[in-house]
Amino acid sequence: MRLALDIITVVLISAGGFFFMAGTIGLLRFPDTLTRLHALTKVDNLGLGLIVFGLLAQVESRLDALKVIAIWLLVQMSGAIVSQLIAQATRRLGRQT
Amino acid sequence: MTLVFACEVVLAGLLVAIATWTIVARTAFAAIVVFMVYGLLLAIVWVALSAVDVALTEAAIGGGVTSIVLLGAASRLRGSKAAVPSVSFPFKITAGVLCAVVSAGLAAVVFSLPDVAPTLAPVAKENLAESGLGNPVAAVLFVFRAHDTLLEKVVLLLALVGVWSLASDSAWGGVPALRVYASPSRILVFLDQILPPIGIMIGIYMFWAGASQPGGAFQGGTILAAMWLLTMMARLQDVPSISARWLRLLLVVGPMAFLAVGLAGFFFADSFLAYPPSISKPLIIVVEATLTLSIGVTLALLVAGPPERLPQQ
Amino acid sequence: MTITNFLLAAAAFVLLMVAIGLARILYGPTDVDRILSVQLIGSGGVAVLLLLSVGLKLPPIMDVALMLGLLATFVSVAFLRDAADSSSVSTSTTEDR
Amino acid sequence: MNSAALFGYCGAVLVGLGLYGLITRPEVLRKILAFNVLGSGVFLLFGVFARRGAAAGLGADPVPQALVITGIVVAFSATALVVALLVRLNKETGQVIITSDDPEESGKQGVLP
């Protein structure tokens, strides 16, 4: 059981780390703000999400598990909305110049 | 252990690089964004130094509200086309050498610190039970060095009085000119409707948890301030006039409660700011609750700045 | 390699990726690009702190992650307010609503 | 080198950096930023002393930690006050730097109040 949980953790967190790396490569290589924002949302959603699910198999108590999920939901929601706001600001900036 | 150290080396390198960037960035806006990242990174550094209470304060105040205050100033100054004198290269070199000497001196101090570090941790731990609290840092803040904390609240209020006194005569008692969104988009309004209730809950949790684990009035109060500012920026709520009675009351209720409990110490315990042992925990909780409110309001008003126009204009 | 070591290694890796990403976005060229860094340090910092919290078995670190996520959102909203204005000519007169 | 020493050196470098910015940047806003960097370097040194004082099952000495928390708040108060002063200065004179009261001096810098 322990071993199974550990394997799940390793697989999910490695996948999360992979998306962090992919996001960083995207940030380095993409040409403009909107495409870089696209790369960043992958980090937000998949990177953090997979890491959170991987950690759920390791937390000590049920309360901690709830807290991890709450933090994830908060970051997920505000991240999604702020990404939209950033995209809106980029468009507004593009129109003005 | 070495893995933790690897983490810390990355962190330290990043921190110094970001700090350098803050200093050398060309535009003020860029420097402030970098400074914000710097504040949030410092929070992770404090975690690495096992100072979780400080990490929370640094993330909230160092990374959060300080950069918002600076940002407000930067956006107001952006319009002005005043000439900035350039600094000569030899002067920069001289200053650089001087600062390197200062850094080297401090590094030498760090290098030659005594092997057995002086510490008050055992004393704090021993007397922790008496305070009724579980968090040693909160015990230091509210019991062992309570006068520091009381005066710090007074400093916050004095700073606010100083900021307000910079208003022009015609605007005195008016409304602070916090910069708000001219036309908040619907998605922003949605965020500002959904986030503050969650944020207020987290703020109360921070203050409540502060008694037994890292957290406390400051961290909770800052979150409340951030949530209030958020709703004002999206124009879901008006910026209040500084002469509003409820506002003034909220500003002083925390320090007053603290002071009252401190004075009561003369009669019910043996000295100023001493708590009767049997009810010390409930007393501290009451003081912290009112302080959380007062700190939240004070911080938000410090960010909003001096009043600039009269109400109903 | 124990699971604790794995979590700490993952934290170091994510931190490194965040560092590289930050370097790219803070470089600009526009102010909106720089605001992406707030998002990145928000989600990356939360990931690092959660990994450390579970890896070192110190649940209070989760509260720092919560604080970081919340404050990053607040700061991005405030920054976007001014970045969207940055290309307009005079900003000093727009403060009265 | 252990982690406390690492961040100690880090703090020393930050103090130097902040001082450099404080001296060489003419704009007041950048001086304030630099001063905050300097301050955080000093706080970090305090944090190192706290970390080294770990004892009695505590990860760090709570007394320096409490001092740093107070310090962060006071630094914020000072920043807010000086930012308000700067905005007022800019409103009155249009300046973003502090010029000398001596008319000859400010004439040299090419700006008159």
pTM of the model: 0.89
Residues B29 and B39 placed together within one structural domain of the fold: yes
Q: Residue D103: what pLDDT?
A: 53
Contact C30, C11 (CB under 8 A): no
Residues B249 and B144 placed together within one structural domain of the fold: yes
Average pLDDT over residues C21-47: 84
Res. D107: pLDDT tops 50: no
CB distance from A11 to chain C under 8 Å? no
Strand partners, B307: B176
Q: CA–CA separation, B242 vs C91, rounded Å? A: 24
Residues 6+ apart with CB under 8 A from D18: B19, B23, D34, D35, D36, D37, D38, D39, D40, D41
Q: CA–CA separation, B65 vs D50, rounded Å? A: 25
Cα separations in angstroms, A89 against A14, A34, A37, B182: 34, 10, 12, 13
Q: CA dihedral defined by B250, B254, B257, B259, rounded to 10 degrees?
A: -120
Q: Mark which residues 241-280 of B lie under 8 Å from D by CB.
A: none
Residues 6+ apart with CB under 8 A from B282: none
Residues B162 and B242 placed together within one structural domain of the fold: yes
In this predicted model, what pLDDT tens digit does every residue of B171-214 receive, in sequence order? 888 888 887 777 778 888 888 888 999 999 998 888 888 777 77
In this predicted model, what pLDDT tens digit does every residue of B207-259 receive, in sequence order? 888 777 777 888 889 999 999 998 888 888 888 888 888 988 998 888 888 88
Contact B240, B247 (CB under 8 A): yes
In this predicted model, what pLDDT tens digit does every residue of B154-171 receive, in sequence order? 899 999 999 999 888 888
Q: How does residue B84 score in pLDDT terms, banded at 50, 70 and 90?
A: confident
Least confident of B143-157, B268-282, B290-304, C26-40: B268-282
Residues B111 and B135 placed together within one structural domain of the fold: no
B64, B94, B118: which is the final residue of a domain? B118
Q: Residue C89: what pLDDT?
A: 31
**Closest among B104, A17, B46 to D12, alpha carbons compared:** B104
Domain enclosing residue B164, as ranges: 120-313
B118, B148, B183: which is the final residue of a domain? B118
B309 three-state secondary structure: strand
Please report which helix (H) or strand (E) contains residue D43, including its range. Answer: helix D28-52
> What's the total number of domains in chain B?
2
* Mutate: best of B1, B2, B3, partner C, most C CBs <10 A: B3
B175 three-state secondary structure: strand
> What's the total number of domains in chain A?
1
CB distance from C71 to chain A under 8 Å? no
Tell me which of B67 and A94 has the higher pLDDT.
Answer: B67
Buried b vs exposed e over B46-60: b needs ≥16 C-beta within 10 Å? bbbbbbbbbbbbbbb
Res. C87: pLDDT tops 50: no
Q: Is there a contact between C83 and A58 if contact means CB atoms under 8 Å apart? A: no
Q: Residue C95: what pLDDT?
A: 38
B75, B93, B118: which is the final residue of a domain? B118
What CATH class does D3-109 carry? mainly alpha
> What share of chain B in percent tops pLDDT 90?
15
Question: In this complex, does chain A touch chain C, defined as having at least 3 beta-carbon pairs under 8 Å apart?
Answer: yes
**Closest among D26, A93, A70, B225 to C46, alpha carbons compared:** A70
Average pLDDT over residues C49-74: 89
Contact C36, C84 (CB under 8 A): no
Residues B134 and B108 placed together within one structural domain of the fold: no
Q: Residue D43: what pLDDT?
A: 93
Res. D78: pLDDT tops 90: yes
Domain enclosing residue A84, as ranges: 2-93
CB distance from C48 to chain B under 8 Å? yes
Helix axis angle, C31-55 relative to A2-29, nearest 10°? 160
Q: Among partner residues D11, D30, D53, which is closest to B31 by beta-carbon distance?
A: D30
